[in-house]
Amino acid sequence: MTISPPLAVIILAAGKGTRMKSDLPKVLHRLKGQPLIEHVLQTARQLNPTQIVLVVGHQAGLVQQSVGNRVLYAEQRVQLGTGHAVAQAETLLSDHHGNILILYGDMPLLTPSTLRQLIDLQASNSGPLTMLTVIAEEPRGFGRIVRDEKGAVIAIVEEADCAPAQLAIKELNVGVYCIQADWLWPNLAKIEASPKGEYYLTDLVAMAVQQGHQIKAVTTTDLVETLGINTEAHLAEAEAALQSRGVRDSKKSLNQ
């Protein structure tokens, strides 16, 4: 049995949530009577991390007031992408040499069992990174997972950059990763800005492949579990999903 190294969790919660049509930080919108961020924190705590870092930005004070002193805080003052957001947590986690799980404050339906699969797979991975993917029968709007003839992940191609054949790929990137801390920080610093001036975590996958590392993935078929809340319609969908799922404590482990 592989012993998992110490785990820290980074939760990205700096976004404005413009499509929610509210000045309230997106992660404070309520789902089943609790802010979205509370659902994510409850899940994260079940993984027994040594530290949880919440990366805040838009209306940071309101988020901190809601969450309190249960986590460490890093601030992303300017929204420059997911890679830049994670980088804000480096100072707080400089003494952590285990693995780091990267989650999102607007993704409240991920289960501890799915994330535990991700953590356990990375614990046995000789490479630096394990990612979460999802199978969608009608893939739209997400990066496609490109694998080689042996089934190894070799790239994430964003939808706008996909060749016609790649658009048909049904395996999508969720954006959730478990990464070796000692590999993450130096490589995060190497990410180059996109044409929009943003730095994306997805670039880490290509970097790891170029370095000769094996990328592993946990794949779920539950598209709803990976839902990110960007609109009121998404919030309603999440409410319905939690209703059908039943009590949180009775959530069952998903098949890969």
C-alpha distance from residue 192 to each of 83, 179, 203 (Å): 10, 19, 8
Q: Collect the ranges in the chain with pLDDT lower than 50.
A: 247-249, 251, 253-256
Domain that holds residue 132: 7-246
Task: Give the pLDDT confidence of 137-167 residue by residue, as tens digits.
Answer: 988 888 999 999 999 999 999 888 899 999 9
Question: Any idea what the CATH number is for the domain that residue 68 is in?
Answer: 3.90.550.10
Cross-strand pairs, 143: none
Residue 193 token pair:
């800005």
Task: Give the pLDDT confidence of 93-126 residue by residue, as tens digits.
Answer: 999 999 999 999 999 999 999 999 999 999 999 9
Residue at 45 is within a domain? yes
Residue at 150 is within a domain? yes
- What's the one-letter identity of residue 240? A
Residue 148 has a pLDDT of: 92
Residue at 104 is within a domain? yes
Cβ contacts of 91-94, under 8 Å, gap ≥ 24: 92/51, 92/53, 93/8, 93/10, 93/51, 93/53, 93/181
Residue at 181 is within a domain? yes
Residue at 255 is within a domain? no
CA distance 55 to 74: 5
The residues annotated with a catalytic role in the active site are 19
Residue 2 has a pLDDT of: 65
Cross-strand pairs, 104: 12
Residue at 1 is within a domain? no
How many separate domains does the chain show?
1
Exposed/middle/buried for residue 2 (C-beta within 10 Å: 0-12, 13-18, 19+): exposed
Residue at 229 is within a domain? yes
Residue at 26 is within a domain? yes
Residue 138 has a pLDDT of: 86
Residue 251 has a pLDDT of: 45
Cross-strand pairs, 153: 147
